């Protein structure tokens, strides 16, 4: 049996947008159910995101600490950001975020894992890249007045320590949780990280032009 997600669309009888924010929105759809009844589905409309798991030669991962107001917590996360431009190449977005948040660049990029952040209430799709051959970026460090980057603490942490923290319930950011566990599995699998998909692998959830 081939276990994989498949594309499917139930009939949408009506749709309205009660909220439109600067980056995301909320849609409210009336959907026809398989038994003929109807149900309302309210969900966040999101442009998509990218995360970067930067791994150095000592097996350490680049992480940063950032305050997240909705959960009232400061979380350890991977460098990450929105795909602000429709159809934007996610690799370019990931390279931009690594530069802006950590003033770093990488020589080798691969797709580590794709996932939906909360598919019951949002269409946000996230692609996590593995970046190796990491070094400090050229030029001045990125800065912008009032930017979140000014409040970030950036450090390198051994992968094993992050895995331990995830399993102990001490780390809860979805990109970090998914990324470090996926990397741990990839390293233990046949072919290791060299068996991962190329950086420009197709992404059906967020199609783009390579």
Q: In a structure prediction context, what are the per-residue pLDDT tens digits for the chain, which is 210 residues long?
A: 899 999 999 999 999 999 999 999 999 999 999 999 999 999 999 999 999 999 999 999 999 999 999 999 999 999 999 998 888 899 999 999 999 999 999 999 999 999 999 999 999 999 999 999 999 998 877 666 455 556 789 999 999 999 999 999 999 999 999 999 999 999 999 999 999 999 999 999 999 987
**In sequence order, what E strands does 34-137 have?**
38-45, 49-54, 60-68, 73-77, 80-82, 104-116, 125-136
**In sequence order, what E strands does 88-193 have?**
104-116, 125-136, 153-158
Q: Are 174 and 75 in contact (CB under 8 A)?
A: no
pLDDT (0 to 100) of residue 86: 83
pLDDT (0 to 100) of residue 84: 85
pLDDT (0 to 100) of residue 87: 84
Residue 191 Ramachandran class (φ > 0 left, ψ -120 to 50 alpha, else beta): left
Active site residues: 149
Using the Cα atoms of residue 196, residue 202, residue 205 and residue 207 in order, give the sign of their dihedral.
positive
Helix (H, G, I), strand (E, B) or coil at 119: coil
Which phi and psi (to 5°) does residue 56 adopt? Answer: -95, 180
Return d(Cα 130, Cα 134) in angstroms, integer: 11
Q: Are 101 and 152 in contact (CB under 8 A)?
A: yes
Helix (H, G, I), strand (E, B) or coil at 99: helix
What pTM value is reported for the model? 0.94
Q: Are 111 and 182 in contact (CB under 8 A)?
A: no
Q: Are 54 and 152 in contact (CB under 8 A)?
A: no
Q: Are 28 and 35 in contact (CB under 8 A)?
A: no
pLDDT (0 to 100) of residue 144: 63
pLDDT (0 to 100) of residue 145: 46
**27, exposed or middle or buried, with CB in 10 Å at 0-12, 13-18, 19+?**
middle
Q: Are 116 and 124 in contact (CB under 8 A)?
A: yes
């Amino acid at each position: 049996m081939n276990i994989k997600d498949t594309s499917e669309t139930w009939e949408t009888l009506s749709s309205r947008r009660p909220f439109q924010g600067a980056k995301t929105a909320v849609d409210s759809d009336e959907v026809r159910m398989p038994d003929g009844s109807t149900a309302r589905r309210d969900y966040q409309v999101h442009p998509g995101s990218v995360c970067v798991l930067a791994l150095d030669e000592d097996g350490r991962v680049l992480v940063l600490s950032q305050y997240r107001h909705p959960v009232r917590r400061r979380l350890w996360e991977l460098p990450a950001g929105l795909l602000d431009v429709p159809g934007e190449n996610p690799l370019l977005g990931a390279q931009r975020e690594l530069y802006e948040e950590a003033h770093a660049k990488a020589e080798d990029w691969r797709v580590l894992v794709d996932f939906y952040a909360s598919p019951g209430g949002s269409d946000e799709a996230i692609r996590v890249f593995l970046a190796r051959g990491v070094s400090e970026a050229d030029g001045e460090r990125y800065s912008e007045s009032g930017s979140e980057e000014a409040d970030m603490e950036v450090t390198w942490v051994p992968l094993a320590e992050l895995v331990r923290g995830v399993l102990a319930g001490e780390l809860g950011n979805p990109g970090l949780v998914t990324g470090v566990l996926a990397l741990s599995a990839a390293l233990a699998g046949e072919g290791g990280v060299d068996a991962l998909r190329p950086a420009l692998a197709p992404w059906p959830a967020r199609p783009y032009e390579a």
